Amino acid sequence: MSSGRISKLAGLLLACAAAGCATGASAETNLKVFVTSQGQPAIWRTLLDQYEARNPGIKVSVELGGTTSDMQAQYLNTVLTAKDSSLDVLMLDVIRPAQFAAAGWTSPIATDMSAYLRAYAEANTIDGKVVALPAFADSMFLYYRKDLLDKYGLQPPKTWDELADAAKKVADGEKNPNLQGLSFQGKAIEGAVCTFLVPYWSQGKVVTKDGKLDFDREAATKSLALWKGFADSGVAKKNIAEVATDDTRKEFQAGNVLFAVNWAYAWAMSQGAESAVSGKVGVARLPAIKGGEQATCLGGWEWGVSAFSKHQDEAKKLVEYLSSPEVSKYMAINGSLLPTYGKLYKDADVTKAVPWFADAQPIVETAKPRPVTPRYNEVSEVIRTTVNAVLAGATTPADGAAQIEARLKRIIR
């Protein structure tokens, strides 16, 4: 063979290797999925293993996001601004689709959204296009120690004042310096945006109306003062400004918290082998500001296909599977992630595994969304850093409310 023909053959083989066209054996597609560490990643992995077994030729690897939603957003912003193609499928917090769609970072998915809970069909449809598919639903709940409330003849509180009274009664009786009355998120993380909004909304106020800022400074002051009051009176611990979502989960699970504000994922772990409170936990609606309504924050995560993925068809197929009723049911049963399909809330297998899901659908359906805007990152930053500053004692509730208003005015016009 002439050296010219040999180099031509070598060139062909190299091109083939680069394009993944294996000779003889069938080609393999490797997909990389970005998964939030807040959403039971190990359980998603078992489903991905099953998907690989059902789809020969597809291999799926997982990249785990940082411990908070805002850390994950920061990372994804860097990767996607660089048009990096290494991630094919992205698990996104429900507050992100508007920004990701505006930036052109996710590929539209042609699908019918009518079977999903309406909030998620809406959050993922931007300018008439479906930009991601629901992974799991979520909202904030009040976790409480059923055993301790029973011991003191108490009911789950319906107002924050009742909660403070109950916490005091239990603290006086238990005399346990390690028992916190209430744990919530005061660290400058995404969860603190909901910390601020829950009592704000409870007063019947909105943040935006018809896309314009409609801020109530008095309601904001009251919200910030409520949380600071819990820290000052000893219902919450002094360094609540350092507490992130998973800290609340761990401290509650260790038996050191009477009431906790948390998302649905915390349930499965509170019932696990490593929990000190298994069988002693109740879940209820979050309390209201006296005279107001019991409001909560809409959470949840979505599956998007990266616009830069080199495997668009395979990634969309995987996302459709991950968003299917079969998977939603599996994650509800095994990971206590709330279903994205209404019919699963009364499913006998689901309610057997997580009894309180039977009453959770109306709570999720009336949960309020955080402001929907492509500039959500900035909105979030303003709110969460101010909540944190107030709880750390660096700003008063009134000044904090004024700062939030002034800064939001420059973002939402």
**Residue 88 vs 93, nearer CB to ligand GLC:** 93
- Closest separation in Å from C-beta 397 to ligand GLC: 22
Residue 294 binds ligand GLC (CB under 6 A): no
> Residue 64 is inside which H or E element, if any?
strand 58-64
Binds ligand GLC by CB under 6 A, chosen from 134, 156, 299, 397:
299
- The helix (H) or strand (E) run that includes residue 143 is strand 141-145
Residues, the chain: 413
Rule CB under 6 A: is residue 245 a binding residue for ligand GLC?
A: yes
d(CA 392, CA 187): 9
Residue list 76-95, contact with ligand GLC (CB under 6 A): 93-94
- Please, which of residues 35-64 interact with ligand GLC by CB under 6 A? 38
Q: Which of 131, 134, 138, 302 binds ligand GLC (CB under 6 A)?
A: 138
- Per-residue burial over 1-11, b if 16 or more Cβ lie within 10 Å, else e, is eeeeeeeeeee
Q: 89-93 and 29-35: which strand pairing?
A: parallel
**Between residues 93 and 314, which has the closer beta carbon with respect to ligand GLC?**
93
Contact status: 300 vs ligand GLC (CB under 6 A): yes
User: What SS3 state is found at 372?
Assistant: coil
The residue number with the shortest CB distance to ligand GLC is: 299
Q: Which is nearer to ligand GLC, 93 or 347 (CB)?
A: 93
Q: How many CB atoms lie within 10 A of CB 104?
A: 11
Q: Running DSSP on this structure, what letter comes out for residue 59?
A: E
Q: Please name the residue that has the structure tokens 């909540």.
A: 387
Query: Which x/- pattern, by CB under 6 A, does the window 152-191 give for ligand GLC?
Result: --------------------------------------xx
In 184-306 the beta strands, taken as DSSP E runs, fall at 208-209, 212-213, 257-262, 281-284, 298-305
C-beta closer to ligand GLC: residue 221 or 328: 328
Binding site for ligand GLC (CB under 6 A): 38, 69, 93-94, 138, 190-191, 245, 263, 299-301
